[in-house]
Amino acid sequence: MSDTPAEPVIIPHTELSADTLRGVIESFVLREGTDYGQNEYSLEQKVAHVVKQLERGEAQIVFDPDSESVHIRTTQLRS
C-alpha cells in the first residue's frame, strides 16, 4: 500500500447513465449549500444548471480513489 495519494479520475458525464448522472448531480447540489443570493431555485433548476455547466465543459465529475467519493468541480477554461 502506498502513502502517495492516488490521482483523481475525471469521469466524462456522457459516460454515466441518465439516472446515475442525476443522482451524482442531486447529491452534489444538496450537500454543497451553494448561495444563490436573493434568488430561490428549485432542485430541478439547480440540477439543470449543473447539467449545462457539464455540457459546456465548465464543470467536471471527479472520482477521488482515496476517499472513494465523487465530486463536481469547476474547470479552468483556457483561451
Cα distances (angstroms) measured from residue 7 to each of 42, 52, 65 = 34, 26, 7
Residue of 48 and 41 predicted with greater confidence: 48
- Beta-carbon contacts of 67 under 8 Å, excluding residues fewer than 6 positions away, are none
pLDDT tens track for 50-67: 999 999 999 999 999 999
Q: Could you give all domains of the chain from N- to C-terminal order, each with its CATH number? A: 9-74 (1.10.10.610)
- This prediction has a pTM of 0.80
Q: How confident is the model at residue 1 (pLDDT cuts 50, 70, 90)?
A: low
pLDDT confidence of residue 41: 85
Contact 59, 13 (CB under 8 A): no
